[in-house]
């Protein structure tokens, strides 16, 4: 007979790149997981997965089992909600994934407020380098950057422009760039994240402020251009890149949420403010309506309400990130 543990086993295998990773997700040893898998395959009379020393992949039968098993698990997890008490108190586990830096600074404090509103919930926050598309078993995902090809619903929480910054000491020593092409003669710091081409920086002239802004919006936007950077320093950690820039090593292109405090404190200076670099909107991704639980709906409503009153936040949207410019977020 198939057990719930069998469904969770194949779900973990479908989401993990290796047997060891699946074992860590289930908090068991790889040998124990391998034994469970062989036992399940013997019960079904099917081969569910092929594994090598470095990689694990599901067979077509395994993929079908994982898909149907995930649907059953979702129904089982949603079952208590159909018997909720009259006070509509939320129970069960809500799993959220977010990037390390933004997750620590913004998501964790908001989830603390959400937890106080729903004491019956068990919250699980997983901070990852790439929470999307590696959502694993998450119920909701916070992603910084544009989303490509997703069946999940994306809501924009913050427009989040990228700002070019450097320390005052660096600018005194090397001069201040007057236009993007001047960056070719400067030391630049690049960040590897989300499998993006981190050395190709896109930019255009920023629209004018004040009375001319409305007229400018009615005309074609300035053409988007690209500049290939030869980085002097590269890292996969945004906090490290910001610290290097504050230490005077070079210029960094970083999300406004990450550098706004440093700019206010004077340890960084915004460079080329008249130019607009590609934004990295903060997105909340949740399953389609059919896959949402009451917990996820409550989280979505909370984040929309919490970000709606904060300066610099974009209004929630159903699909792609909004292109409207907002004032900087804190």
Same domain, 259 and 291: no
For 267, residues 6+ apart whose C-beta sits below 8 A from its C-beta are: 167, 246
Same domain, 173 and 145: no
Where residue 177 falls among pLDDT bands split at 50, 70, 90?
very high
Residue 320 lies in a domain: no
Same domain, 40 and 184: no
Instruction: Give the residue among 278, 279, 259 at the shortest CA–CA distance from 270.
Output: 259
Residue 144 lies in a domain: yes
Same domain, 104 and 46: no
Residue at which a domain ends, from 228, 252, 276:
276
Residue at which a domain ends, from 80, 103, 129:
80
% pLDDT > 90, the chain: 37
Residue 204 lies in a domain: yes
Tokens 């504050």, residue? 246
Whole-number pLDDT of residue 240: 94
- pLDDT tens, position by position, 121-144: 999 999 988 787 766 678 899 988
Mean pLDDT of 159-183: 95
Same domain, 285 and 155: yes
**Which residues are registered as beta bridge partners of 201?**
227
For 75, residues 6+ apart whose C-beta sits below 8 A from its C-beta are: none
Instruction: Give the residue among 308, 261, 260 at the shortest CA–CA distance from 284.
Output: 308
Where in the sequence is the domain holding 39, given as residue range(s)?
Answer: 4-80
Same domain, 173 and 246: yes
Number of Cβ atoms within 10 Å of the Cβ of 118: 17
Highest mean pLDDT among 51-55, 191-195, 248-252: 248-252
Question: Are the CB atoms for 91 and 79 separated by under 8 Å?
Answer: no
Same domain, 27 and 99: no
Q: Please state, rounded to an integer, the average pLDDT across all residues of the chain.
A: 81
Residue at which a domain ends, from 80, 114, 144:
80
Tokens 């057990």, residue? 3
Question: In whole angstroms, what separates CA 320 from the centre of its chain?
Answer: 14
Same domain, 102 and 235: no
Whole-number pLDDT of residue 307: 75
Whole-number pLDDT of residue 228: 95
The total domain count for the chain is 3
Number of Cβ atoms within 10 Å of the Cβ of 253: 25
Same domain, 293 and 217: no
| CATH number, domain containing residue 151 | 3.40.190.10
Same domain, 146 and 124: yes
Same domain, 38 and 127: no
| CATH number, domain containing residue 54 | 1.10.10.10
| CATH number, domain containing residue 177 | 3.40.190.290
């Amino acid at each position: 007979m198939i057990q719930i543990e069998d469904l969770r086993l194949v779900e973990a295998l479908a989401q993990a790149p290796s047997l060891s990773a699946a074992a860590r997700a289930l908090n068991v040893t790889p040998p124990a997981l391998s034994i469970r898998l062989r036992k399940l395959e013997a019960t079904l009379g099917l081969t569910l997965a092929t594994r090598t020393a470095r990689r694990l992949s599901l067979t077509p039968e395994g993929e079908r089992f994982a898909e149907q098993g995930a649907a059953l698990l979702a129904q089982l997890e949603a079952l208590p909600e159909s018997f909720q008490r009259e006070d509509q108190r939320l129970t069960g586990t809500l799993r959220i994934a977010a990037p390390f830096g933004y997750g620590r600074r913004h998501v964790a404090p908001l989830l603390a407020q959400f937890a106080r509103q729903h004491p019956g919930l068990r919250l699980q926050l997983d901070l990852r380098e790439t929470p999307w598309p590696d959502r694993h078993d998450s119920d909701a995902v916070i992603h910084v950057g544009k989303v490509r090809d997703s069946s999940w619903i994306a809501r924009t929480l913050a427009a989040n422009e990228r700002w070019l910054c450097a320390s005052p000491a660096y600018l005194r020593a090397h001069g201040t760039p007057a236009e993007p092409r001047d960056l070719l003669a400067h030391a630049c710091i690049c960040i590897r994240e989300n499998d993006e081409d981190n050395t190709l920086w896109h930019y255009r002239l920023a629209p004018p402020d004040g009375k001319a802004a409305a007229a400018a919006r009615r005309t074609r936007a300035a053409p988007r251009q690209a500049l290939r950077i030869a980085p002097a320093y590269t890292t996969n950690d945004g906090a490290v890149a910001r610290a290097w820039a504050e230490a005077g090593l070079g210029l960094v292109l970083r999300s406004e949420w990450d550098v706004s405090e440093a700019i206010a404190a004077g340890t960084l200076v915004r460079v080329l403010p008249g130019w607009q670099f590609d934004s990295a909107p903060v997105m909340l991704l949740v399953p389609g309506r059919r896959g949402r639980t009451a917990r996820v709906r409550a989280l979505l409503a909370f984040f929309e309400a919490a970000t709606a009153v904060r300066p610099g936040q974009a209004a929630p949207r159903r699909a792609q990130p909004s292109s409207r410019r907002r004032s900087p977020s804190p």
